[in-house]
Amino acid sequence: MGTLRMIDIAVNFTDGMFKGIYHGKQYHAADIAAVLSRAWSAGVQRIIVTGGSLEESREALKIAETDGRLFCTVGVHPTRCKEFEESGDPETYFQALLSLTKEGIEKGKVVAVGECGLDYDRLHFCPADVQKKYFEKQFELANATKLPMFLHMRAAAEDFCGIVERNKQRFCAGVVHSFTDSAEDRDRLLLFSNLYIGINGCSLKTAENLDVVRGIPIERLMIETDSPYCEIKNTHAGIKFVKSVWASKKKEKHDEQCIVKGRNEPCLVRQVLEVMAGCKGITDINQLSETLYHNTCRVFFPQDLDSAADALLAGSHVLDEKN
């Protein structure tokens, strides 16, 4: 598989599919160990497990504690922001998020506040005013903990950018993950110098999507699977650039040596890297993966920014000093 280094910034390991449960029915045993083994073999160095509610964030932290290469987020997804009010006391719910975040930081596991933001495609789960109120509230979490933000924006660029602009002093950096919006929305996000854009299979479906990705500087990109969702399908525009494939079997014929057909998993972040390289006309995939790795460390793992990547960046200065 080669020695690429990748970080998958978005894996939903709390999802039932990784426990073998699909649409409420058990098809096979939990297989996270096999999924992780494939990821590490493919060159994945670290994985960020996403939390989308208080309870899910607790579970994400538990999962992250099982392996030194797993980390997680704590926050509330826009479609679940009603939980703040349904809990009976939004402030108590918020304080529970804060204490969980602090606990996770002490354990060296929580690396971001999120997944939070705005999703106007799914207002049936949570109305816009509730989403906006509790998106804004989660900047308090970022400000109190000094963590970066793991963000979600769907069909809501104007309100989203307005809230980020108002709160830009309250967070250090962030990534807008699973980006699928327009070139115009991309350009709005790129105006924030501390925001990066996360790309997965859903970001690479159409020729228009590929055009949008072409316009994102590699210094502002990260890669992710958002598994078990957002796989790159044979019908997607980006499929022509995919080089790495894994044997797959249907969930009914589960085999730990194979990926489950229709279930995305972290090893497939390598395909996202390949499509990104292909659509940008980049031939040196190793250099691209190093840049993305460095971008990700800069935001989520600043304490151990890879020294080799740093040396690479500083190389020209070293030469100057020697001359």
Classify residue 316: in a domain, yes or no: no
Residue 322 lies in a domain: no
Examine residue 298 and state whether it is found in any structural domain, yes or no: yes
Is 321 inside a domain boundary?
Answer: no
* Average of per-residue pLDDT across 228-238: 96
pLDDT category of residue 303 using cuts at 50, 70 and 90? confident
Report the predicted TM-score, pTM, of the whole model to 2 decimal places: 0.93
320 within a domain of the structure (yes/no) = no
Checking if the pLDDT of 279 tops 90, the result is yes
- Residue 23 assigned as binding residue: no
Q: How many residues are given for the chain? A: 323
Q: Tell whether 115 is in a known binding site.
A: yes
Please answer whether residues 202 and 174 qualify as being in contact, where contact means their C-beta atoms are separated by less than 8 angstroms: no
- The answer, yes or no, to whether residue 75 has pLDDT greater than 60, is yes
Q: Does residue 318 fall inside a structural domain?
A: no
Residues facing 72 on adjacent strands: 49, 110
Query: Does the annotation place 294 within a ligand binding site?
Result: no
Q: Is residue 1 part of a domain?
A: no
Check residue 316 and give its pLDDT: 44
Range of the domain at 306: 6-311
Task: Indicate whether 154 belongs to any domain.
Answer: yes
CATH of the domain at 145: 3.20.20.140
Question: For 280-300, what is each residue's pLDDT tens digit?
Answer: 999 999 999 999 999 999 999
Residue 152 is labelled as binding a ligand:
yes
The pLDDT, as a whole number, for residue 320 is 40
Q: 178 near 212, Cβ under 8 Å? A: no
Q: Which residues contact 19 (CB under 8 A, 6 or more apart)?
A: 30
Quote the number of domains for the chain. Answer: 1
pLDDT of residue 3: 74
Average pLDDT, the chain: 94
Provide the b/e sequence for 60-72 (b: ≥16 CB within 10 Å): bbebbeeeeebbb
Q: Are strands 70-74 and 110-119 parallel, antiparallel or unpaired?
A: parallel
Residue 109 has pLDDT above 60, yes or no: yes
